[in-house]
Structure 1
Amino acid sequence: SVIDELREIGKYRDIEIKGIAYDSRKVKKGFLFFALSGTFLDGHDFIDEAVKNGAVFIIGEKDITHLKIPYLKVHSARRILAEVSAKFYNYPAKRLKIIGVTGTNGKTTTTFFLDSILRAYGKRTTLLGTIYNKIGDEVSYTHHTTLESLELNQVFKRSIEKGVEYVVMEVSSHALSMYRVWGIPFVGAVFTNIAKEHLELHKTFENYLKAKSLLFESLNTGAYAVLNADDHYFSYIRDKTSANVFTFGLFSPSTFYAKNIRYSLGGIEFSIFEDGREVLEIKTSLGGIYNIYNILGAFSLGISLDIPLQAIKKGILNLKGVPGRYEVCNFGQDFNLVIDFAHNYHGLYHILSTLRPLTPGKLITVFGCGGERDSTKRPLMAEVVSRFSDYTIISTDNPRSEDPMETALDAEKGIVFWKRGDYEILLDRVDAIRKAISIAGKGDTVLLAGKGPEEEQVYGDRIIWHNDKEVARQIILEDL
Structure 2
Amino acid sequence: MHTAELISYFKIKTVIGTLPTQVTSIHDDSREVEPGSMFICTKGYTVDGHDFYQEAIQKGASVIVSEKYLEVDQDRTALVIVNDTVKATAHISNLFYQSPSNKLDVIGVTGTNGKTTVTTLIHSLLKTSGKQAALLGTNGLQINDAIYKTSNTTCNMLTNQKLLAEAVDNKIDHMVMEVSSHGLAQGRLWGINFDVVVFTNLSQDHLDYHHSMEQYGYVKGLLFAQLGQDLINDKYIVLNQDDQWFSVYNKWSPFEVISYGIKEEANFKAEAIEYLQDKTKFVLKSPQGTFPVETSLLGEFNIYNILAAMAALFAQGLNVEQMVKDLKTISSIKGRMERLNIDTPVTLYLDYAHTPDAIEKAIHSVLPFKTNKLIFLAGTAGERDRDKRALMAEKASIADYVVLTVQDPRHEDPNQIVKEMEKGMKHEHYACVADRNEAIRHAVQVSEPGDIIIFAGNGHEDYQIIANKKIPHSEFETIKTQCFKKYPINNIVQ
TM-score (normalised: structure 1): 0.94
Q: Take 2:374 and 2:255, find their aligned partners in 1: how far apart are those partners?
A: 44
Does 1:47 find its partner at 2:53?
Answer: yes
* Partner of residue 433, structure 1: 440
Q: Over aligned residues, Cα RMSD in angstroms?
A: 2.0
**Structure 1 residue 396 displacement after superposition:** 1.3
Number of matched pairs: 473
- List per-residue Cα deviations over 1:214-257 (Å, max 9, x = no partner): 11112254201010000011111111111111000011121110
* Partner of residue 446, structure 1: 453
Does 1:71 find its partner at 2:118?
Answer: no
Give runs of aligned pairs for residues 166-205 of structure 1, distance below 5 A.
166-205=174-213
Does 1:407 find its partner at 2:414?
Answer: no
* Partner of residue 33, structure 1: 39
- List per-residue Cα deviations over 1:122-178 (Å, max 9, x = no partner): 100110110231112221112210111111111111111211100011011111111
Does 1:215 find its partner at 2:223?
Answer: yes
Q: Closer, same or farther in 2 for the Cα pair 1:206/1:70, shift >3 Å? A: farther
306-315 vs 175-184, which deviates more? 306-315
Q: Is the 8 A contact 1:100 1:168 kept in 2?
A: yes
* Partner of residue 143, structure 2: 135
**Structure 1 residue 281 displacement after superposition:** 2.0
Q: Is the 8 A contact 2:376 2:399 kept in 1?
A: yes
| AA matched with 2:293 | I
Q: Is the 8 A contact 1:126 1:167 kept in 2?
A: yes
| AA matched with 1:59 | V
Secondary structure in 1 matching 2:56: helix
Secondary structure in 2 matching 1:51: helix
78-87 vs 63-72, which deviates more? 63-72
Secondary structure in 2 matching 1:7: coil
* Partner of residue 323, structure 1: 334
Q: Is the 8 A contact 1:367 1:397 kept in 2?
A: no
Does 1:58 find its partner at 2:51?
Answer: no
| AA matched with 1:148 | N
Q: Take 2:169 and 2:275, find their aligned partners in 1: how far apart are those partners?
A: 43
Give every structure 1 segment of 4 or more consecutive aligned residues whose post-TM-superposition deviation is greater than 6 Å.
Answer: 10-13
Does 1:107 find its partner at 2:115?
Answer: yes
Does 1:151 find its partner at 2:159?
Answer: yes
Q: Take 1:149 and 1:119, find their aligned partners in 2: how far apart are those partners?
A: 26
Q: Take 1:35 and 1:356, find their aligned partners in 2: how far apart are those partners?
A: 52
Does 1:160 find its partner at 2:164?
Answer: no
**Structure 1 residue 184 displacement after superposition:** 1.4
Secondary structure in 2 matching 1:475: helix
Identity %: 34
Q: Take 2:48 and 2:55, find their aligned partners in 1: how far apart are those partners?
A: 13
**Structure 1 residue 53 displacement after superposition:** 0.6
Secondary structure in 2 matching 1:375: coil
Q: Take 1:21 and 1:346, find their aligned partners in 2: how far apart are those partners?
A: 39
Does 1:241 find its partner at 2:248?
Answer: no
Q: Take 2:13 and 2:289, find their aligned partners in 1: how far apart are those partners?
A: 56
- List per-residue Cα deviations over 1:185-236 (Å, max 9, x = no partner): 1110110011122122222222221211111112254201010000011111
Give runs of aligned pairs for residues 285-364 of structure 1, distance below 5 A.
285-364=296-375
Q: Take 1:70 and 1:133, find their aligned partners in 2: how far apart are those partners?
A: 34
Does 1:252 find its partner at 2:252?
Answer: no
Q: Closer, same or farther in 2 for the Cα pair 1:279/1:60, shift >3 Å? A: farther
Aligned partner of 2:476 among 469, 473, 479? 469
| AA matched with 1:233 | W
* Partner of residue 424, structure 1: 431
Q: Closer, same or farther in 2 for the Cα pair 1:435/1:81, shift >3 Å? A: same
Q: Take 1:17 and 1:330, find their aligned partners in 2: how far apart are those partners?
A: 52
| AA matched with 2:24 | K
Secondary structure in 2 matching 1:293: helix
**Structure 1 residue 71 displacement after superposition:** 3.1
Q: Is the 8 A contact 1:147 1:180 kept in 2?
A: yes
Q: Is the 8 A contact 2:13 2:82 kept in 1?
A: no
Q: Take 2:295 and 2:151, find their aligned partners in 1: how far apart are those partners?
A: 29
Secondary structure in 2 matching 1:318: coil
Q: Take 1:13 and 1:271, find their aligned partners in 2: how far apart are those partners?
A: 63
Q: Take 2:157 and 2:469, find their aligned partners in 1: how far apart are those partners?
A: 29
Q: Is the 8 A contact 2:13 2:83 kept in 1?
A: no
Q: Take 2:369 and 2:80, find their aligned partners in 1: how far apart are those partners?
A: 61
* Partner of residue 491, structure 2: none
Secondary structure in 1 matching 2:328: helix
Q: Take 1:75 and 1:414, find their aligned partners in 2: how far apart are those partners?
A: 47
44-53 vs 196-205, which deviates more? 196-205
Q: Which runs of 5+ in 1 are unaligned?
A: none
**Structure 1 residue 278 displacement after superposition:** 5.1
